Each structure stands twice: as C-alpha cells, then as structure tokens.
C-alpha cells in the first residue's frame, strides 16, 4: 500500500507513461482491419471474446449510448523502479477543476511557478500492465475499424479502465473515436493525439475484488463533457511537463487551451467561458463570439 500512496503523490509523469502504452500499438499497425464486419449488437461480445481467446485478458464491455466502456481487472499494477526516474518540477498545480453547466464552460485553477527542483519517481506502472492495455487497444482497433460502413452504429467515445482490484487503483483512458482514427491515418500528430486522449489516475476501494466493474458508475459522454475533461487534461500537461516557460502568463495560456479545444471540436452551443485564477483572484469571462473569433495557437 505504501507503493500505491507514493505513486499517487509522485504521479506527475503518469500521463506520459500511459501515452507510451498507446504509441506501442499505434505505430506498428496503421492500417484498418480486414476482418469481417461486426454488427453493432455484437461488438461487446466480440471484444470480450478476442481479449480472452487471443490475449488471455478478461474484460467486461458495456455500451452506454454512444460511449463504449472497457473494464479490465488487474492486480499489483504499481512496481518499484530499480533506477528511479528523474523529473523537474517547474509549476505547482494546487487545483485544476471545472466543466460545462447551463450553457457555460467554467474553469478554476491555482497554478504557480516554483523554484525548479529535480525530483525522483521511484514507482511506475508494471510493464505487463502496459502490455495488456496495448493488447486491449489492438482488439478495439480490430473490431471497431471493421464497423466503418456502419457509421451510425460505431461508438463516439471510448473509456478504458484498468483496475487494480487488489490495491484499489484505477487508470482511466478516455478518447474520441474519430481522434483515434485521425491519428492512425496521419491527420493529426502524435503530440496532438496525446493531448486529446484523457488520462486519469485515482484511488478507490470500489474496485477491490471487483472483477467485472459492477461497483463503478457508467454513463454516456457528451461532447461538452468530453471537451471539458480534455481542457483540464491539457492544462495539466501544459504545466506538469512543462510545455511553457515559468514566467508565462498563466491566464493567457488557459484561454489558449480553452479556445483550442472548443474550436477543434467546432462547439457552438454555449453562451460563454469563465476562468477563475484562485491564486490571483483574477476572473475573466469571454463570450461565445469572443472565443470563436480567436485563432488557435
């Protein structure tokens, strides 16, 4: 349990670890599947069967509207590294929250530059866990790409949950299926795909001894919810990696992120965007027209 707590405290690089996992599957096989088309009603069973028969991985697949959920029970997903990995902290993210409600996008954050300090991450995801996630992604590609002639039946969003049923840890990867295809076909870069697919890590006792994911709540994502989560994900990456200089105007960078996501997915059914810098108490409200008229940077 100490390893798990340490991992959650020092998980600044968790997104990068999960993205490495995605790259391993996407680079070798960039062509669509030639296997027979799976009917909409059969894709859950097809994914489960292929995972079990070809990779010896037990998964439970659920469909909620346009969202496909894949639950994968594992154990001891966290391991201690023989050689700790070094990383440099430039910003401290004390809070990064928000979402879409009543026609408004609202985000609040407390992000501040800190003296640069080299730190060590002593724990990581087990490589076997990454391999299993890779295998599930391969199966998803194989089954879902065979549905290309059934565009009304293919899911819009995919959410993969790797659950440590022994220690109570979940790793969640959520992505827009069209983004998945765009990257495979070379329409968006690897870096852009990494920013669009959302990684989350959390500790919860709900998954302990839960082999089928019955104790979790599943729902259908909408584009506004997905976009909100992606904005938060991009903010985290921007200041954790970091992708900006420590003297950058944080509020302006947040607005850039919000604009990029809203215009990328061509969202128009919203009234305004509000951002609230909890550290400086600076609040900014931008109308829909103000956001849509801004360039993507």
Question: Same domain, yes or no, for 48 and 139?
Answer: yes
Clarify whether residues 131 and 267 are in a common domain.
Answer: no
> Which of 187, 217, 247 is at the close of a domain?
217
Give yes or no: residues 138 and 192 share one domain: yes
71 and 150 belong to one structural domain: yes
Whether the per-residue pLDDT at 242 is higher than 70: the answer is yes
**Percentage of the chain lying above the pLDDT 90 cut:** 64
Contacts of 253 (CB under 8 A, 6+ apart): 238, 244
pLDDT of residue 69: 98
Mean pLDDT along residues 2-22:
47
**Quick check: is 222 in a domain?**
no
pLDDT at 288 over 60: yes
- Residues 147, 105, single domain; the answer is no
In sequence order, the 6+-apart residues with CB closer than 8 A to the CB of 95 are 108, 109, 110, 278
Transcribe 150-170 into DSSP letters: -TTTS-SEEEEEEEETTTTEE
The predicted structure's pLDDT at residue 28 = 44
191 with 207, same domain: the answer is yes
Give CA–CA dist 185/98, Å, rounded: 32
Question: With 80 as the cut, is the pLDDT of residue 149 above it?
Answer: no
pLDDT tens sequence across 202-212:
899 999 999 99
pLDDT of residue 32: 45
Instruction: Please check whether residue 297 lies inside any domain of the structure.
Output: no
pLDDT at position 241 is 83
* % pLDDT > 70, the chain: 84
Domain boundary among 217, 246, 280: 217
In a domain? residue 82: no
Task: At 246, give phi and psi (nearest 5°).
Answer: -65, -20
Boundary residue ending a domain (217, 245, 265): 217
Is the model's pLDDT at 6 over the cut of 90? no
| 247 and 100 part of one domain | yes
Other Cβ atoms less than 10 A from the Cβ of 6: the count is 15
Q: What's the predicted TM-score (pTM) here?
A: 0.88
pLDDT mean over 123-144: 88
Domain range for 43: 2-77+126-217
Q: Which pLDDT score is estimated for 16?
A: 41
User: pLDDT-based confidence at 102, cuts 50/70/90?
Assistant: very high
Give the lowest-confidence range in 116-120, 151-155, 259-263.
151-155
DSSP alpha helix (H) spans, the chain: 2-9, 14-26, 43-55, 127-144, 177-184, 190-196, 223-240, 250-264, 288-292
Question: Are 47 and 133 within one domain?
Answer: yes
Mean pLDDT of the chain, nearest integer: 86
d(CA 206, CA 220): 20
Shared domain check, 35 and 164:
yes
Which is more confidently placed, 47 or 19?
47
Shared domain for 148 and 208, answered yes or no, is yes
3 has a pLDDT exceeding 70: no
Residues 192 and 73 in one domain: yes
**Which pLDDT score is estimated for 15?**
43
Average pLDDT over residues 88-106: 95
Q: What is the pLDDT of residue 25?
A: 44
pLDDT of residue 252: 97
Strand order in the sheet with 157-164: 60-64, 67-74, 157-164, 169-176, 198-203
pLDDT digits (tens, 9 = 90+) for 25-57: 443 444 444 455 666 678 899 999 999 999 999
Q: Are residues 161 and 268 in the same domain?
A: no
């Amino acid at each position: 349990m100490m390893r798990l707590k340490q991992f959650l405290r020092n998980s600044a690089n968790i997104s990068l670890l999960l993205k490495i996992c995605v790259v391993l599957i996407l680079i070798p096989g960039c062509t669509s599947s030639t296997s027979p088309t799976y009917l909409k009603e059969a894709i859950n069973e097809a994914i489960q069967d292929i995972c079990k028969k070809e990779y010896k991985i037990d998964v439970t697949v659920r469909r909620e509207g346009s969202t496909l959920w894949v639950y994968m029970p594992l154990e001891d997903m966290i391991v201690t590294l023989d050689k700790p990995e070094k990383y440099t902290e430039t910003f401290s993210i004390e809070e990064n929250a928000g979402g879409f409600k009543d026609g408004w996008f609202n985000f609040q954050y407390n992000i501040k530059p800190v003296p640069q300090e080299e730190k060590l991450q002593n724990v990581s995801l087990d490589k076997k866990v990454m391999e299993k996630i890779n295998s599930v992604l391969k199966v998803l590609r194989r089954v879902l790409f065979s549905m290309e002639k059934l565009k009304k039946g293919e899911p819009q969003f995919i959410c993969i949950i790797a659950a440590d049923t022994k220690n109570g840890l979940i790793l969640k990867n959520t992505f827009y299926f069209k983004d998945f295809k765009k990257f495979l076909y070379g329409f968006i870069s690897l870096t852009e795909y990494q920013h669009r697919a959302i990684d989350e890590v959390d500790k919860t006792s709900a998954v302990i001894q839960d082999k089928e994911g019955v104790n979790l709540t599943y729902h259908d994502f909408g584009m506004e919810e997905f976009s909100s989560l992606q904005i938060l994900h991009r903010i985290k990456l921007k200041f954790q990696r970091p992708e900006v200089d420590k003297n950058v105007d944080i509020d302006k960078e947040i607005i850039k992120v919000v604009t990029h996501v809203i215009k990328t997915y061509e969202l128009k059914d919203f009234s305004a965007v509000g951002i609230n810098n909890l550290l400086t108490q600076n609040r900014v409200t931008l109308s829909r027209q103000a956001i849509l008229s801004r360039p993507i940077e």
